[in-house]
Structure 1
């Protein structure tokens, strides 16, 4: 009998809880104060406070908003037992923000090789940005 990760050079399955911990403890996520509040295969919800991440105009820096959305995208596309990497992303900034932001990532399509996710970034009920990402399957 072959065992994943032992006999066929396949990675051992990683639990959703372990995957969340990996993302939660990543250096970049900690640097920006990103906090995962919910995640499962194809879905993630991540929060970030804008304090210390503002541009000279006193609103959240576009790079910080992008990083929040990208982090949620990465989690949603990697919470299963398939490793995916981003191949294309696009963000549209809708409104400036100053407070606590929430990024909600949801899988909106899949063809087995690529998945498309839509990430909406909110400040309260107000939409701040919309991010679309395509992730390519790189392992079983």
Structure 2
């Protein structure tokens, strides 16, 4: 997994367990590289099986990578948190063998809700997609309480 967590972070075992149960990410080779409060970094290599009819990475896989980073960022605090809504803007195509990096960053949290932005880049830094997700906490104490 190659995961890094905040120094002394109590969430290490919880996040590691969440990733261990994440069959989709593991099956697609999506690696969780870093997690800290409200942030996550994930990586994925585009394979031939991920290409659409135009020969570029299918948008569904780009969305999945961004959504996964969003998920780990909003679950970094502990309470079970899920997506309430999300949108993606595709800016450039990704090709087979591209190494993609998705960086999720928290923008705001209030009560049981959060807003997170995720940028998906090629290894050279070119932005492929921008994603915005809204989260909702299902269990635990609301933020700010």
Alpha-carbon shift at residue 112 of structure 1 (Å)? 2.4
Residue number in structure 2 paired with 1:105:
104
2:12 pairs with 1:16: yes
Q: What CA distance in whole angstroms lies between the structure 2 residues aligned with 1:23 and 1:87?
A: 20
* Secondary structure in 2 matching 1:130: strand
Q: State the partner residue of 1:86.
A: 83
| Cα distance in 1 for residues equivalent to 2:12 and 2:57 | 30
Structure 2 segments unaligned to the other structure (5+ residues): 1-9, 141-145
CA distance in 2 between partners of 1:134 and 1:116 (Å): 5
Structure 1 partner of 2:33:
37
Alignment: residue pair count = 127
- The superposition leaves residues 71-130 of structure 1 with CA deviations (integer Å, 9 ceiling, x where unpaired) of 000000001111111111000000001101000000001112200000000012100000
Residues 106, 24 of structure 1: alpha-carbon distance in 2 compared, 3 angstrom cutoff: farther
Q: 2: distance between equivalents of 1:17 and 1:38? A: 14
Q: How big is the shift at 1:22? A: 2.1
Instruction: Name which of structure 1's ranges 14-23 and 95-104 shifts more when overlaid on structure 2.
Output: 14-23
TM-superposed CA distance for 1:50, in Å, is 0.4
Work out whether 1:76 is the aligned partner of 2:102: no
Structure 1 stretches lacking a partner, 5+ long: 1-13
Mark the structure with the bigger radius of gyration. Answer: 1
The residue aligned with 1:49 is 45
- What TM-score do the two structures reach when normalised by structure 1? 0.85
SS at match of 2:50: coil
SS at match of 2:74: helix
